Amino acid sequence: MRFRLRRAAAAAVGLVVLAGMAACGGSGGDTSDYGPYSGKPSTSDFDQKPSKARGMLVESLRLGEHIMYATDIDPEIGMGRGGGVFADRLGLGLGDSVISAPETRAANGHDPLAAFGAMAASKSYADYTAGKPQKFLATSLVEFPDEAAASAAAADMDRADFEANADNVPVAVDAFPAAISHWRPGIPTLGSTMAYKSLVIRVYVQSLDPDLGTLVDMVTRSYRRQIDLLANYTPTPSADLPKLQLDPGKLLPRTVLTDDPMPTAMKFAVWGVHAYSALLDSPAEDAKANAEHGINTVAVSYNKRLFKMRDATAAKNYAGYLDGQPGDTEYIPIRGVSGLPDVACRQLSKPSKNLEARRFRCVMFRGEYVATVYSNTDIDLRQLAGAQYSVMGGTV
């Protein structure tokens, strides 16, 4: 899981969007203006009823606000490699987790309530060649019902991963006696798991050379930094998880509803800036830039992003920044939406397999909000953009 885009357009990430995706139909005059879309804020009840699944998502995103960046440990490990929420009502996911499959299965035996992870390396995906030396750091935070469950989970997770390879050898991390660690001699990697209160911190590091002292030092500094960042984190009691709201600030109703309002981390959720930046191409740099731009919160809504900014001035400036910094592939200006000068639209200058699902995009600002929308066709894009601009000014 990753918000993949250069930091210059870091917040303008698009998800896969099917051409002509329909939403809740407009009412009254909205339909003629906005095609299949409504120009009024949605009234979905996704936050109204108790839901453990939603609560686990919210708690995982809360954990993400306390995840460390790899550059806190080594400034050379600055290229984001993904991560994100990897817990749901079924437990930790095997397919999209930042921890190993054996660890995932072991953790699931102890009722995990939330999980967030982040990975980074000294080389980007584009520059990395399999088998070549690189620095790498993956950090995961997994929350359990209590300290006893976390302690048991940490032991079982390490045991499961240790037994997955006969060459593994135990390693002591002297500064943290509770940490359970192992490596394969001659391989420049070290995995370590430690219970901290009702959480498990899992760290996996890779250095350029198979020097155990270097690896232990990386793990030691990782634990110190991560524990510092958790100092102000208070876990939600498991009985209260179903009461947690995904969107108390009512940002998602200010996005055009283009699919089921099902709380999902990468499709329909509200992110804090720290967690959001952790999944960008250059997490520490992007976090600094996002703070400087005045981003307070990010709502992810399928083929749209809505940014709650510090104020209207910050919104106008950030919209101009996004429109002028197109990211990985060059966009060229196209005609915008008639009568809406605060909406700027662009089209990819050439076909791209990776970006085909977002060939067209519009960036807009209204009040203290900035939004980006994507589509595969220019007609659908302008209808969606017009509706989005209208929704941003509605009352929720």
Q: Under the phi-then-psi rule, with left for phi > 0, alpha for psi from -120 to 50, and beta for the rest, what region is 105?
A: alpha
Average pLDDT, the chain: 89
In Å, how far from its chain's centre is CA 233? 19
Give the pLDDT confidence score for residue 223 in this predicted structure: 98
List the end-to-end C-alpha distance of the chain, in Å, as a whole number: 30
Q: What is the pLDDT of residues 206-238, one digit of tens each?
A: 999 999 999 999 999 999 999 999 999 999 999
Q: Cα Rg for the chain, rounded, in angstroms?
A: 22
Residues of the chain below pLDDT 50: 4-32, 328
Tell me the C-alpha distance between 86 and 62, whole Å: 13
Q: Which domains does the chain have, with CATH numbers?
A: 7-47+248-392 (no CATH), 52-229 (3.40.1000.70)
- Residue 127: the pLDDT is 74
Place of tokens 């990975």: 119
Per DSSP, the three-state class of 303 is: coil
Angstrom distance (rounded) from CA 205 to CA 120: 10
Q: Compute the C-alpha angle 276/109/119, nearest 5°.
A: 25
Residue 219 has a pLDDT of 98
The pLDDT tens digits of the residues spanning 112-131 come to 999 999 999 998 777 766 76
Q: Are 214 and 245 in contact (CB under 8 A)?
A: no
Residues 6+ apart with CB under 8 A from 273: 287, 290, 291, 295, 296, 297, 298
Q: What is the pLDDT of residue 348?
A: 86
> Per the structure block, which two tokens stand in for 238?
């498991």
Q: How many CA atoms lie within 13 A of 62 on its CB side?
A: 22
The residues, ordered by sequence, that sit 6+ positions from 164 with a Cβ below 8 Å of its Cβ are 100, 102
State residue 94's pLDDT score.
67
The predicted pLDDT at position 87 comes to 95
